[in-house]
Amino acid sequence: MKVGFSKNGLRLNSKEFNPLNLPLKGVGIESDIPLNPPNAEDILSVFQQPNIRSANRAQGVEILKSMIEKSL
């Protein structure tokens, strides 16, 4: 997975990411609420956690979850 930042906000795998428009198992919810671009420093601070390279799957999910929370 590639995480990127642009002037328009967060990008995952080179696609704009809006946590309000997240499809899950073929079902999607869309929102017309405008998304303010997140602060890149807040999201990157997640990677300052100790032992992030040795995180297991559950810890990886928690890391991604905290990134999404900081992007809101």
Q: Residue 27: helix, strand or coil by DSSP?
A: strand
pTM, two decimals, is: 0.40
Query: Which DSSP helix (H) or strand (E) runs through 4?
Result: strand 3-6
CA–CA gap between residue 35 and residue 71 (Å, rounded): 9
pLDDT of residue 20: 66
Q: Where are the alpha helices (DSSP H) in 1-72?
A: 40-44, 57-71
Q: What is the CA radius of gyration of the chain?
A: 13
Q: What is the pLDDT of residues 4-47, one digit of tens each?
A: 776 667 777 777 776 666 667 877 766 676 667 677 777 777 77
